[in-house]
Amino acid sequence: MHRICVSIARESVDDVLAVADHISPLADVIEIRLDRLKTIAVAPFITRLTKPLLLTNRPTWEGGFFSGDEKLRMAPLLEAVQLGVAYVDLELKAPAASHENLLAMVEKSASQLILSWHNFQETPTKAELVGRLAMIQDKGAHIAKIVTMAHDHHDVLRVLNLQEEAAKMDMPLIAFCMGRPGIISRLATMELGGYMTYCAAHEAEATAPGQLAVTVLRQLETLLAEGQEPSR
């Protein structure tokens, strides 16, 4: 099943809700970037929105906006699991205590834990990518997320080929590339075993380099489906 996740990064809860209501028909999952909010809240999203939600509170050291205490960063994610959110995202590089606390909470809930690793500078070797995937699995994640910066098509191919390793490990994997060369991977991953791909609510609101607007991604998905129809 194709999962298109629309990422929303706005400064107020009301703005996020308004955008989410507008794009909900085009989204399979909606990611709320808590780290972009001036005042972080969780309950309004879970009570108001009907689409499966992914809550992320990305720290500055992983390309996000949250720069405060780690316990304060984790608090809304733990609350979200208690309230039954579909997904929470935690960084592979987060402190061990954060991993342990969130995993313990997730194990007593219906929420799924996405452990993510981002490289905003480059795409490492295949060996390092596979190593990161193994580390994510060893940490007890339900879903792995590996996203790198692509400088050419070789980088893109290495990341997309990770799906083969993930299949051997029986590990659901979100994997694509940032940057202009990586744009195609955001679409291709849906046809190559990727668990989910990410897009923006609007072109001007991309939360990562090369991120497409959801309307564009849906158009590409439709064109791809039409190309697979048998000729008459």
pLDDT along the chain (232 residues), means of 10: 90 97 96 97 97 98 95 98 97 97 95 97 98 97 98 98 97 97 94 95 84 93 76 50
**Predicted local distance difference test score (pLDDT) of residue 208:** 82
Q: Which CATH architecture has domain 4-114+177-227?
A: Alpha-Beta Barrel (3.20)
pLDDT for res 20 = 97
CA–chain centroid gap for 169, Å, is 20
The pLDDT value recorded for residue 194 is 96
pLDDT score for 65 = 96
User: How far apart, in whole angstroms, are the C-alpha atoms of residue 209 and residue 53?
Assistant: 22
| Rounded Cα gap, residues 18 and 14, in angstroms | 6
Residue 175: per-residue pLDDT: 98
Q: Work out the end-to-end distance of the chain between its first and last CA atoms, rounded to an integer number of angstroms.
A: 26
Would you please indicate which residues are annotated as catalytic (active-site) residues? Answer: 118, 145
pLDDT score of 21: 96
**How much is the pTM?**
0.94
Q: Please report the DSSP string for 175-220 in residue order.
A: EEEESGGGHHHHHHHHHTT-S-EEEESSGGG-SSTTPPBHHHHHHH
